[in-house]
Amino acid sequence: MHDPFPIPPSAWLSKAVQPFADRVGFTTLPLHIHEVVVAFIGYYFINIVLSPWISNLLVPDKYNKLSRERKINWDVHVVSLCQSTLVNALALWVMWADEDRKNMDWQQRIWGYTGAAGMVQGLATGYFLWDLVVTLQNVRVFGLGMLAHAVSALIVFSFGFRPFVNFYGCTFILYELSSPFLNFHWFFDKMDMTGSRAQLYNGIMLLFTFFSCRLVWGTYQTVRVYQDIWAAIHHQPAGTGIHMDALNNSTTAARDAAAGKSAAPIHGDIMRFAGEEYVPLWLAFTYLGSNIVLNTLNFYWFGKMIETVRKRFQPPKEERRKQKATAAMATGANGRVTIELDETEVRRRKVAEALEEPLGAAI
């Protein structure tokens, strides 16, 4: 499937990036550089212009009261919401519509290329490039964990331009399916809706999508890409030898074999950038290492998310201790006042209140 938004190889932008692409081995980058640049500029525009304008228009009281650091965080969440919605829709569409991608074998998943998957990769690379720039500018706000995520994600998606595991670009970008719910959860806190029913339902969807997309789906696809890369490392390129039977026949296959190409018909349109079908160890370890960083962060963040969501709907410890027992005052026969504690009554009252009142107490 071709790129829905192609750029002619003769375009000035492709020509400008060609020397860099040749130097680093990003063969297909000139075909998608326009999508990288458009995504980077577009997200930067949303960050510094569109988000502040819309926020001042819709919620001026909330936005203008934020500190500088919180405004930066707010604008970044707006960009993340826009990006995750767009790229998820495009990735799901490509996975559904790209028949070439659906029918790939392991070799094509490693060295193959389709223009539609390259488009998703270009847009994702533009976003992660913006993410890296913003994180570097505000590392004290976002922390080293987000910096590691930005670097790893940019490396993983940039390698697709070799092309290398171009197939898995759409697969791993589906990590972002949980991002809209994560951003809404953050906005609920800033809009004084902490502990509301809306945040509760959104929190349930956040945990469900994060667990299913990043931990279950992501771990399964990580195992698959490890298997494919392992097979590629031990793969003997068909072009290293000449098929003698093909040489005995005056056919196109024979001429291809004599020219050093495989006699097998695997070098079609999908494999036109495959080259030697060789994976250097540095590339395999760099890609897999970056993937391990991303997956480790996913498991770490999932634990933090469970803790954060639970805190939104659970009273603090001091309040729980105060609510543990109820006091009943009574006067004895000797005139002394006594206080009796009835924990059962407290439990009954709390259950009744939970059924009648909205869920969650704000921290």
- 254 alpha-carbon distance from chain centroid: 45
Q: Looking at the predicted structure, is the pLDDT value of residue 327 above 50?
A: no
Angle, helices 29-45 vs 68-97, to 10°: value is 140
The 10 Å Cβ neighbour count of residue 325 is 14
91-100, 194-203, 249-258, 292-301: which range is least confident on average?
A: 249-258
Residue 134 lies in domain: 11-235+271-313
How far is 51 from 53, CA to CA, in rounded Å?
5
Question: Which tokens in the block code for residue 22?
Answer: 């040749």
Count of residues making up the chain: 363
How far is 217 from 230, CA to CA, in rounded Å?
20
How far is 61 from 65, CA to CA, in rounded Å?
6
How far is 227 from 260, CA to CA, in rounded Å?
27
Composition of the chain by helix, strand, coil, percent to 5:
70, 5, 25
The string of pLDDT tens digits covering residues 3-57 is 898 887 678 899 999 999 999 999 999 999 999 999 999 999 999 999 999 999 9
In the chain, the amino acid numbered 91 is A
Bigger pLDDT: 268 vs 248: 268
Highest mean pLDDT among 188-197, 206-215, 261-270: 206-215
Residue 324 lies in a domain: no
How far is 248 from 257, CA to CA, in rounded Å?
11
Q: Looking at the predicted structure, is the pLDDT value of residue 289 above 70?
A: yes
Pairing of strands 327-331, 337-341: antiparallel
What is the domain count for the chain? 1
Complete DSSP assignment for 32-51? HHHHHHHHHHHHHHIIIIIH
Question: Which tokens in the block code for residue 58?
Answer: 């819709």
Residue 342 lies in a domain: no
Residue 6 lies in a domain: no
Residue 80 lies in a domain: yes
Residue 334 lies in a domain: no
Residue 265 lies in a domain: no
The string of pLDDT tens digits covering residues 246-262 is 334 444 433 443 343 43
The 10 Å Cβ neighbour count of residue 42 is 19
Q: Looking at the predicted structure, is the pLDDT value of residue 352 above 90?
A: no
pTM (two decimals): 0.75
114-118, 233-237, 343-347: which range is least confident on average?
A: 343-347
Q: 110: pLDDT confidence band, cut at 50, 70 and 90?
A: very high
The 10 Å Cβ neighbour count of residue 153 is 25
Bigger pLDDT: 87 vs 265: 87
Task: Please state whether 358 falls in left (phi above 0), alpha (psi between -120 and 50) or beta.
Answer: beta
Residue 353 lies in a domain: no
Q: What is the pLDDT of residue 310?
A: 78
Residue 66 lies in a domain: yes
How far is 53 from 261, CA to CA, in rounded Å?
57
- Spell out the residues 6+ positions from residue 351 whose beta carbon is closer than 8 angstroms to its own: none
Mean pLDDT to the nearest integer, 72-82: 95
